[in-house]
Amino acid sequence: MNNMKKYPLYIIALLSCILFLSCDKTKHEDTWWFDNETENLFTNGLFVNYESTCRVITIGCNSDSWIATMNNNDNQNDSWITINKEEGNDGISYCSIKISENKGWNERCAYVKFTNGNDIRLLTIKQEAEKRVYIPYKLVQITREGGMVEVSFEANANCECSISRIGWNPSWIKMVSHEKDGQTNKVVLKVDENLSLGRQAILDISIAEIGTTEHITLQQEPRLFNENENINIYREGTLGTLLGSDIANCRNIRTLTLSGRLNVSDMICLYRLTNGPNSSIKNLNMFSCTTDASGNTILDEMFSNSNIERVNLPGDLKCIPYKAFYRCTSLDSINVEANVKKIDILAFAGCSSLKSISFDSYCQLAEIGMGAFNTKSVIEDLVLPTFNVKMPPSALYGCTIKRLHLTEEVPPILVGEGKGLQNTILYVPAESVELYKKAKFWRDFAEICPQQTY
């Protein structure tokens, strides 16, 4: 009987212990809790693009005892993540995670450790790198002999490569292979020997993921040049390609005849070709060329100090600019075409060998700048066309003009006094001789005679 009386006491003690343990477990589990979104982040991780961003995680907690720290593994740099704990109301708190822009080439990963007593949660954060291509050089020079050519570049995304061609022959270059080793891409090209002028193709590198295309210019050197070369510029801006970068090869040219359309890029190429002590071009004919819309593609000081002897300018040129032929001591003749309206300051100054300046009979010349013909040379005949000219007296200073021919019946009005023309014979329309003898500046000529056939 006594043993039977003890059983209820054991049962009561056992139930009390179970109840205590149950209450203690409930208290532990309730110290923090997470909504579905936060649980998913702990389970699946946080993935963001390369741009800087900030994400806020909501944490429910009976106290503020939880902490968040970076869980740095393998000495990985995690300075691109900043953590900030923020207290809220009604047992809700927040953890803001600021992620800086990923300027690197690779995806990066870090871990945030959330700790509350003995309970630990890890949040995996991965940030992708910006998809891009790094091209160490935009221009690849290919020898005239051709052969197999390798082109390398870096890319952290899948790329498609193709060849787009410039010129008449579409078959001189082919892509043999495109291989990728990590981020390094290698394209192998097969290039034919070049028996013509320089040519160009484009290697297009397309990244479909971001819808962009990068380009590498492939330029093959021309054949060996002869002393006399005729080059048609089939598209403006391509003269540099047609001539190539081999300066020694270009020095073979003595007479260069150009046709086609010129722009400033072509003129810069000509400037480099005709200037300097090693320049070899003596005769340059650009008469069949047309210029860009401005008509002013001859640059300031274009041929200054060059060894050029004779030039035919583009037929539609509007201006011979400042110092265009300054100190071209070998230049012996120049033709001024019909569309030229202005010869700028010092255009032919210092051209000590210049003997002949001829103007088209329909030349629209309207202005001659100061010292334009200060050549320090002897010019046999200078024939100025019919024009309404703006010309200072100094335009003709510094040269010896034996005979100056004008077709204007009324003497052009100039400012200043004529000097240095005592030995120049002026030829004008017969009916205008007396007018010129009385006109300021023109009256200083040594002799004024009626126009004649010369």
Whether residue 200 has pLDDT greater than 90:
yes
Where is 28: in which H helix or E strand? helix 2-29
Q: How far is CA 213 from CA 152, 175, 176, 189, 408, in A?
A: 16, 17, 20, 19, 61
Query: Among 315, 317, 354, which residue's Cα sits nearest to residue 332?
Result: 354
**Per CATH, domain 32-127 is 2.60.40.10:** yes
Sign of CA dihedral 21, 27, 32, 35: positive
Q: Are 344 and 374 in contact (CB under 8 A)?
A: no
Give Cα 402 distance to the centre of its chain: 50
- Average pLDDT (376-392) is 74
Angle at CA 296, nearest 5°, toward 294 and 301? 155
- 290-306 pLDDT per residue, tens: 887 665 668 899 999 99
Is residue 363 within 8 Å of 341, Cβ to Cβ? no
pLDDT of the residue at 247: 86
- The one-letter code for the residue type at 79 is S
Q: How distant is the alpha carbon of residue 258 from its chain centre? A: 25
Local confidence band at 180 (pLDDT 50, 70, 90 cut-offs)? very high
- Please give the average per-residue pLDDT across 393-414, as a whole number: 80
Would you say the CATH fold of 133-220 matches that of 32-127?
Answer: yes
DSSP 208-271: TTTTEEEEEEEEE--PPP-SEEEEEESSTT-HHHHH-S-HHHHTT-SEEEEEEE--HHHHHHHH
The residue among 449, 441, 446 whose CA lies nearest residue 405 is 449
Find all residues with CB under 8 Å of 234, minimum gap 6, and list them: 167, 168, 260
pLDDT over 50 at 215, yes or no? yes
State mean pLDDT over 334-358. Answer: 89
Q: Which of 139, 140, 77, 148 is nearest to 109 (CA)?
A: 77
Q: List the domain boundaries for the chain.
A: 32-127, 133-220, 228-450
The model's confidence at residue 404, banded by pLDDT at 50, 70 and 90, is confident
Percent of the chain past pLDDT 70, that is, above it, reads: 85
Q: What topology does CATH give the domain 228-450?
A: 3.80.10
- Residue 414 pLDDT grade (very low, low, confident, very high; cuts 50, 70, 90): low
Dihedral over alpha carbons 409, 412, 418, 423 (to 10 degrees): -30
The Cα diameter of the chain in Å comes to 164
What is the token pair recorded at 298?
């001859």
pLDDT band at residue 336 under the 50/70/90 scheme? confident
- Cα distance between residue 158 and residue 181, in whole Å: 11
* Contact predicate 341/318, CB 8 Å: yes
Determine phi and psi for 248, rounding to 5 degrees: -60, -40
Bridge partners (DSSP) of residue 111 are 124
Q: In this model, does residue 2 exceed pLDDT 60? A: no
d(CA 444, CA 438): 9
Instruction: Find out whether 407 and 451 touch, Cβ atoms under 8 Å.
Output: yes
Position 20 scores a pLDDT of 42
The predicted pLDDT at position 6 comes to 53
pLDDT-based confidence at 26, cuts 50/70/90?
A: very low
CA distance readout (Å), 337 to 20, 298, 334: 111, 13, 10
pLDDT tens digits, one per residue of 99-156: 999 998 899 999 999 999 889 999 999 999 999 899 999 999 999 999 999 999 999 9
pTM of the model: 0.72
From the options 2.40.70.10, 2.60.40.10, 3.40.50.620, 3.40.50.300, give the CATH code of 133-220: 2.60.40.10
Q: Which amino acid is at 117?
A: G
Half-sphere exposure for 180 (CA within 13 Å, toward CB): 11
The C-alpha atoms of residue 261 and residue 288 are separated, in whole angstroms, by 9
